[in-house]
Amino acid sequence: MIHNVVIYNLKRLTASDTRKRLLENFLSLSVLQLANYILPFITLPYLVRVLGPEKYGLIAFAQAFIGYFQILTDYGFNLSATREISINRENKDKVSEIFSSVMIIKIFLFIFSLLIMSFIVFFFDKFREDRLIYYLTFGMVVGQTLFPVWFFQGMEKMKYITFLNVLAKLIFTIAIFVFVKEVSDYLYVPLLNSFGFIIAGLLAFLIVFKNFGVRFKVPSFKEIKHQLKEGWFIFISTVAISLYTISNTFILGLFTNNTIVGYYSAAEKLIKAIQGLLGPISQTIYPYVTKLMNESKEIAIRFIRKITLLIGVFSFALSLIVFIFANLIAEVILGSQYVESIIVLRILAFLPFIVGLSNIFGIQTMLPLNHKKEFSNILIFASAINITLAFILVPLFKHIGISISVLLSEIFVTVSMFLFLQSKGVKVLGCKIV
Q: How many domains does the chain have?
A: 1
pLDDT, residue 316, reads: 95
Distant-in-sequence, close-in-space partners of 421: CB < 8 Å, separation ≥ 6:
361, 365, 366, 427, 428
Distant-in-sequence, close-in-space partners of 330: CB < 8 Å, separation ≥ 6:
267, 338, 339, 341, 342, 345
Mean pLDDT by 10 residues, the chain (434 residues): 43 55 68 70 88 93 93 86 85 89 94 96 90 95 91 83 84 92 94 92 90 85 87 78 76 92 92 79 75 79 86 92 94 90 96 92 86 86 91 94 95 94 80 37
Dihedral pair phi/psi, residue 16, rounded to 5°: -120, -105
**Does residue 238 fall inside a structural domain?**
yes
**Does residue 429 fall inside a structural domain?**
no
What CA–CA distance (Å, rounded) separates 115 from 120? 9
What CA–CA distance (Å, rounded) separates 422 from 313? 21
Identify the domain containing residue 230 by its residue range.
2-423
Dihedral pair phi/psi, residue 433, rounded to 5°: -115, 115
pLDDT, residue 392, reads: 94
CA dihedral 37, 43, 48, 54 (to 10 degrees): -100
Dmax (CA) for the chain in angstroms is: 73
Dihedral pair phi/psi, residue 367, rounded to 5°: -65, -50
| Cβ contact 324:342 at 8 Å | no
**Does residue 428 fall inside a structural domain?**
no
Q: What is the DSSP letter of 148?
A: -
**Does residue 393 fall inside a structural domain?**
yes
Distances (CA, A) of 369 to 123, 158, 293: 45, 24, 7
**Does residue 432 fall inside a structural domain?**
no
CA dihedral 150, 154, 159, 163 (to 10 degrees): -10
**Residues 272, 241, 27, CA angle at the centre, nearest 5°?**
45
| Cβ contact 190:172 at 8 Å | no
**What's the count of helices (H) and strands (E) in the chain, helices before strands?**
20, 0
What CA–CA distance (Å, rounded) separates 320 from 25? 28
Three-state SS at 356: helix
pLDDT, residue 35, reads: 72
pTM for the structure as a whole: 0.76
What CA–CA distance (Å, rounded) separates 152 from 138? 24
**Does residue 373 fall inside a structural domain?**
yes
Distances (CA, A) of 38 to 33, 173, 276: 8, 10, 11
CB hemisphere CA count around 422 (13 angstroms): 8
**Does residue 347 fall inside a structural domain?**
yes
| Cβ contact 196:168 at 8 Å | yes
Amino acid at 324: I
pLDDT, residue 357, reads: 92
